[in-house]
Structure 1
Amino acid sequence: MNDETLTGPEAAGCPVTGGTDAVRLYGPEAATDPHVIYGRLREKHGSVAPVLLEGDVRAWLVLGYRENRRVLDNPLQFSRDSRIWTDFRDGRVEAASPLMQMVGWRPDCVSQDGEPHRRLRGAVNDSLYAMAGRGIRRHITHFANKQIDAFIDAGRADLVADFAEYLPMLVLTRVYGLAEREGRTLAESSKQVIKGGADALAHNERIMGILGELAARKRAEPGADFASSLIEHGSGLDEEEIVNHLRLVLITAHTTTSNLLARVLQLVLTETSWLSGLVSGQLSLSAVVEKVMWDSPPLAVLPGRFATADLELGGCPVKEGDLLVLGLTAGNHDPAIRPDTAVSVQGNASHLAFSAGPHECPGQGIGQAIIETSVNILLHRLPKLRLAVPPSELTSTASTWESRLDSLPVEFAV
């Protein structure tokens, strides 16, 4: 039992997880405007609310900024190891559930805490750092120009489908030592794993097959790439650990960077002051990225943490083995720490977009390099770039974990 004083559901205004008040974080309403759901949950329950994930799986959604930080910063109370998850241990969630692609245990650093996490995380950090120093901006420049070359003569493009959707994965194929032709397949499969649904497992198996072949090839013929660096690292990762870390970095790096790139371009093109500030040099791209990370984090909801004991969080009685999912977007918009979202956040990097604590995203530098380099190239090569539709016509589609811009039609001088 945790040493905090437990308060009952009635005192907290918060029912047990999965009760009759639980709201689905998936389905038609969640896909169109999850902010409405977050607002309704916050009004009714406060900073922590009971929700249902895909398959009506019970969970707590953490809405408050401070509560998110408490969970992220305290792995002794909130573990990433799903093997302690009560609903899974008791058979209420099947191993084949699409949800397990996001919250299930794997032999990777995200699923571990303590010393096992430090060992595996060290291998990932060192390997990513080595890759960042090996001309990654040259790879970004190559693929950004190649993407632009494919549509520049038309004078118009969709900067989601024609640019942001695949560019990060093309860069990752080079960093991994994969063939460029694998890029689109891996990008599509990564998107489907995050999206969930019936096809998530098949897409995950496709990714694992490609990466398993890559690991075997690089063990026989190592090179200056991320896969070879993991294999050769002094931490001594076994075959299963290597392939699962290749999967982890591939899916998270591509999905978050492609989503963030699309949102940065959306902000630049829908608010002319941002574009003029960049062109004139009065604004840096890092300031634009920071604004987007506060307002539209690439992952809206982060999976998942598991309570290691009975405790109280935000007035809710969380039980040992309960699943919690972290509302990064909701936390960034928490009125308790950001009562006026119109106030500038420039210079304030305390957002939740990259998570926090021991499991904070290790690939931030590479993602930032992809966005800053590619946007600079795009603005340089496409003079008089402008949105081809009114901003009000831009739409997004959300899943439990993210909200993705559907398209970004633009016109430019040829």
Structure 2
Amino acid sequence: MSPASAPDPVRFSGPLLQDDPARVYREIRREHGSVAPVLLDGDVPAWLVLGYRELHQITGDPVLFSRDSDLWSQWENIPDDWPLLPMIGRKQPSILYTVGERHRERAGMMVHALEAVDPFELRAHAEKFADELIDGICPKGSADIIAEFAALLPVRVLARLYGFTDEESPALVTALNDMIDGRERALAGQAHLFTSMTELVASRHKEPADDVASRMLADTSGFTEEEIVQDLMVMLAAGHQPTADWIGNSLHLMLTDSRFAASLFGGRNSIAEAMNEVLWEDTPTQNVAGRWASRDTQLGGRRIRAGDMLLLGLQGANSDPQVRTDGSALTGGNSAHFSFGHGEHRCPFPAQEIAEVIARTGIEVVLDRLPDIDLATPASSLTRRPSPWLRGLSELPVTFTPTPALGGTRS
């Protein structure tokens, strides 16, 4: 049975996925089980995997459940203007769609380049850019902490680590944020990012420096400059938006949940707890496309045909009642969530560490510099971006006592 012919496939869109995804996942699981038939834009069929064990099985078997999108049986039905093509492309040269030994070599190049990032320099960069952003808003007494802080910080830090100058950073911020918004701006943003990365790689090929791009070019596995450009684009895009949403979602939790009130008055112990809870309950990357079955198989009681696409329901798996019998997952720093993926194609561990440092440092600077920060509107009026893939706030209006800018004088 294909997902399209299964009884009552679920349309994978709509306001509920934006406003209350937890309810949607519960209803889908109740009606269809851990592997559910869904319809993407244009009634394109796929399977949504919501079961924790099933997701573990998929991500742990890259041969049966491949990242090779050429396997997809639906390509003949996909129009050139299908809105999800930027996410589910064919014959893409990036690491996202490389499989087998070549993928492992490519991932190794990435890990080596990221592992060499000095943790003290990383935190210093994150604190510096966070302070600069807060300097721009602290005298006003109010701000949208998403648009004026969270959506700007990660890419500025990552751009510095990868080899861009601070002067090039603002245009990269615009490009990456455009890629998240409407189709026309997304294409322009992607074009700017490609051009910028191409110029950076060409420059570092001639004059290497102590940065991620140079270390990737120095790898001896024989990757082309085009492959390195593509991987740097993936790393920057994948590192920016989820980290921005991690900051925003964590601040939202701390501003709306009384359990974290102490952190808003000088305490830092609860920041890590809030960030961990977000990864379990409100993870920035909700769903990922995808995996493709290389042969007929069974999964979660469903007959999966060769060429079927499976969507990784990361948030659905995190909230699977089969593994969440109580609230223990949220305590003690339990990191058994799927927010960074699992298996060969998971987010590399050094990238996870970099994202955590950027997010935590950013939140600490907000709470240090704006100690009486509070919501400017009722929590019920806040809205999320209309996406089933990435979950983040459209805005987070806050108020605080106006203070002078530091101007680089933090001791």
Matched, 1:369 2:357: yes
Matched, 1:391 2:391: no
TM-score scaled by length of structure 1: 0.89
The 3-state SS of whatever aligns with 1:347 is: coil
The 3-state SS of whatever aligns with 2:312 is: strand
Matched, 1:261 2:262: no
The 5 A counterparts of 1:131-150 are 131-133=117-119, 135-150=121-136
Q: Partner of 2:400 in structure 1?
A: 412
Q: Specify the code of the residue in structure 2 equivalent to 1:41.
A: I
Q: Given the superposition, is the C-alpha separation of residues 357 and 29 from structure 1 closer, same or farther in structure 2, using an over 3 Å criterion?
A: same
The runs of 5 or more residues in structure 1 that have no matched partner are 1-8, 10-14
Q: Given the superposition, is the C-alpha separation of residues 207 and 98 from structure 1 closer, same or farther in structure 2, using an over 3 Å criterion?
A: farther
Q: Specify the code of the residue in structure 2 equivalent to 1:106.
A: Q
Q: Given the superposition, is the C-alpha separation of residues 301 and 319 from structure 1 closer, same or farther in structure 2, using an over 3 Å criterion?
A: same
Dislocated runs of 4+, deviation >6 Å: none
Residues 133-155 of structure 1 show CA distances to partners (whole Å, capped at 9, x for unaligned) of: 47111111110000000011111
Residues 197-230 of structure 1 show CA distances to partners (whole Å, capped at 9, x for unaligned) of: 4654443223212211221122122221111111
How much has 1:80 moved relative to structure 2?
Answer: 0.7
| Partner Cα separation in structure 2 for residue 96 and residue 122 of structure 1 | 34
Q: Partner of 2:78 in structure 1?
A: 93
| Partner Cα separation in structure 2 for residue 398 and residue 279 of structure 1 | 33
The 3-state SS of whatever aligns with 1:100 is: coil
How much has 1:114 moved relative to structure 2?
Answer: 2.0
How much has 1:353 moved relative to structure 2?
Answer: 0.5
The 3-state SS of whatever aligns with 1:335 is: coil
How much has 1:242 moved relative to structure 2?
Answer: 0.6
| Partner Cα separation in structure 1 for residue 81 and residue 232 of structure 2 | 21
Q: Partner of 1:102 in structure 2?
A: 87
Q: Specify the code of the residue in structure 2 equivalent to 1:264.
A: S
Matched, 1:41 2:28: yes
Q: Given the superposition, is the C-alpha separation of residues 71 and 133 from structure 1 closer, same or farther in structure 2, using an over 3 Å criterion?
A: same
Q: Given the superposition, is the C-alpha separation of residues 133 and 161 from structure 1 closer, same or farther in structure 2, using an over 3 Å criterion?
A: same
The runs of 5 or more residues in structure 2 that have no matched partner are 403-411
| Partner Cα separation in structure 1 for residue 294 and residue 118 of structure 2 | 36
Q: Given the superposition, is the C-alpha separation of residues 282 and 413 from structure 1 closer, same or farther in structure 2, using an over 3 Å criterion?
A: closer
| Partner Cα separation in structure 1 for residue 81 and residue 37 of structure 2 | 23
| Partner Cα separation in structure 2 for residue 343 and residue 358 of structure 1 | 24
How much has 1:387 moved relative to structure 2?
Answer: 2.0
How much has 1:184 moved relative to structure 2?
Answer: 4.1
Q: Specify the code of the residue in structure 2 equivalent to 1:345.
A: T
The 3-state SS of whatever aligns with 2:82 is: coil
Which of the numbers 268, 284, 301 marks the counterpart of 2:287?
301
8 Å CA contact 1:305–1:323 kept in 2: the answer is yes
Matched, 1:151 2:137: yes
Q: Partner of 2:324 in structure 1?
A: 338
8 Å CA contact 2:69–2:97 kept in 1: the answer is yes
Q: Partner of 2:53 in structure 1?
A: 66
Residues 379-409 of structure 1 show CA distances to partners (whole Å, capped at 9, x for unaligned) of: 1111222222222222212313112112112
Q: Partner of 1:223 in structure 2?
A: 209
Residues 80-129 of structure 1 show CA distances to partners (whole Å, capped at 9, x for unaligned) of: 111111112xx212455332221224223221222111110001001111
Matched, 1:270 2:261: no
How much has 1:239 moved relative to structure 2?
Answer: 1.4
How much has 1:187 moved relative to structure 2?
Answer: 3.4
Alignment length, in residue pairs? 399
TM-score scaled by length of structure 2: 0.90
The 3-state SS of whatever aligns with 2:87 is: helix
Q: Partner of 2:102 in structure 1?
A: 116
